[in-house]
A and B are shown apart, each in its own frame.
Chain A
Amino acid sequence: MQLEHEFTVPVPAPDAWRVLLDLQRIAPCMPGATIERVEGDEFTGRIKVKLGPIMVSYYGTARFVEKDEAGRRFVLEGNGRETRGAGTASATITGRLHEQQSSTRVTVTTDLDITGKPAQFGRGVLAEVAANLLDRFATCLADRITASPTTATPATEEQAAAQRVSVGGAQGDGRSMDSEAGTLDLIGTVGLPVLRRLTPALAGLAAVLGWLVARRARSRVVVHVHLPAYEERTRRPWLAGVRSRLP
């Protein structure tokens, strides 16, 4: 499935490019993630995503397969495996930087393929979770950039205000940007429990996670009810047993 998101970084595109591709710098901003090893363009780490009582953690690697500075486009590929389950996740994340006056709009397209229990979550939920992670990533990044002495500090209140990060999640399923952005703002303000650090690559992985439907699992049959991703062609060995019990 494909997910679309965007966020804004409060510096011009050339600076934004340098920041976004600097793993050491952005890693602490990704909620729920830890990076264990960096080798050139490849890095290894884990990410934990929570949704209510449900948690999924992945261990995996990601690497930059394309860094086109002139075209301001990068492509990141990641693969992960659930640390407590049989599921897998892989993502190809394409980022594009669009210059705006004194800031940069970054659009992120994620091609996501997940197996295992999280595959239950429909694209709406996955997109919401991913947008949420990216939102907090972008906010953290903006805070660090504006706090950093190496970048120009805003001269006026207006500029400072203009530098506040805005995030919107646009999705292909027809949900309006406005309502999505509203949700994100709220969540961003209040903050989800846990999550800590990570990198943009892992952002994709994060998307992957999503959430599960245990809810329906009140016990018995109810598990069935929620196979939102039924059509999405993901392999769900876990479900085979459940599906056979559907009415």
Chain B
Amino acid sequence: MIPPQFDYVRPRSVEEAVAALGEHGRDGDAKVLAGGQSLLPVLRLRLGYPTVLVDLGRAAGFHGVREEADTLVIGAMTTHHEVMTSKLVRAHCGLLAEATSTVADPAVRHRGTFGGSLSHADPAGDLPAVARAFDATMVVAGPGRLRTAPASEFFLGHMTTALEPEEVLVAVRLPKLGSDWGYRYEKFTRVAQSWAIVGVAALVRRSNGVIAEARIGLTNMGSTPERATATEDALTGRAPTDDAVASAAALAAEGTAPPSDLNGRADYREHLARVLTRRAVLAAAMRTR
């Protein structure tokens, strides 16, 4: 279908983007166009009818991966393909590269962006759970200011984030992780390239043979990405044996409220979370040195 009519603005910088959102976003009907891999289908299906699209495609200041001391800063408009093939990301944030390589298909990954995926905040999207696992920091530009928001406070509900109508996500800061960290993204889908029915993003740090720290993000186990905190606590200080990991993973669904839909009921998703957490943690622990 042809999208409904809208005005089109193409800012050249972060400041212009914020100004455009301030001008057109006050009535709440301006939308930011990043890679368009979710927004354009919405428009074509006429599920949304924004009055203005603010296209960040040629705006400077949103793009690329760079190092800042012990942090990687990834521009919001960096495409999935660029993220998963970035040497910096692969070297320091392998979990993100791995999870990003499971997002949809190559065509989507060449257009879709890291920041777009996070701002869209689809509960079944893979990257929000990864951001939670990393305790990522969102860098948000608004009128006359730049602010940061931790991932734990960024995702508020179904497709709802802490971004105000006149704000835009500029970049995401991820901690660089050393080789004592192992990682694994486990994703269960019904058909290849579809959305995760459940996904588990695991980061495990080993020290003296035991798990010193575990961070586990859950995809599609609620309206926001969750952390499996009970499992994280149960793993801390334990050797990553099959039994220890299995008993900790049995707690993975605690405190979650997964949806029931055509792909599976809530209890099935809870089961998936436990199984995938066990697999992800074991695989992550194997990868540590």
**Chain B residues at the A interface, C-beta cutoff of 8 Å:** 4, 25, 27-29, 31, 37-39, 41-43, 45-50, 104, 108, 120-122, 124, 153, 156-160, 162, 164-165, 190-191, 194-195, 222-224, 255, 257, 259-263, 266
5 nearest interchain CB pairs?
A52-B159, A194-B28, A228-B261, A214-B42, A217-B41
Most chain A CB atoms below 10 A, which of B46, B49, B104, B262: B262
Most chain B CB atoms below 10 A, which of A84, A122, A218: A218
One of B37, B195, B266 near A216 (C-beta < 8 A): B195
- Beyond A50-B28, A54-B47, whether A222 also contacts B157 by CB under 8 A is no
- Beyond A84-B49, A225-B194, whether A52 also contacts B261 by CB under 8 A is no
B159, A183: Cβ atoms under 8 Å?
Answer: no
Q: Which A residues lie within 8 Å of B25 (CB)?
A: 193
Closest to B50 in A: A53
Does A104 have its Cβ within 8 Å of any Cβ on chain B?
Answer: no
Q: Which B residues lie within 8 Å of A216 (CB)?
A: 195
Which segment of A16-24, A69-77, A171-179 sits at the interface?
A171-179
Q: Which B residues lie within 8 Å of A52 (CB)?
A: 120-122, 158-160
Closest to B190 in A: A225
Can you report 19 residue pairs joining A to B where beta carbons are below 8 Å apart?
A50-B28, A51-B160, A52-B120, A54-B48, A55-B47, A55-B50, A124-B257, A124-B260, A128-B223, A183-B223, A186-B153, A187-B156, A187-B157, A193-B28, A212-B47, A213-B47, A218-B104, A225-B194, A227-B261
One of B124, B165, B259 near A215 (C-beta < 8 A): B124
* Given pairs A54-B159, A173-B266, 14 additional interface contacts (CB within 8 A): A51-B159, A51-B160, A54-B48, A84-B4, A85-B46, A125-B223, A125-B259, A180-B257, A183-B223, A215-B38, A217-B45, A219-B41, A223-B45, A225-B195
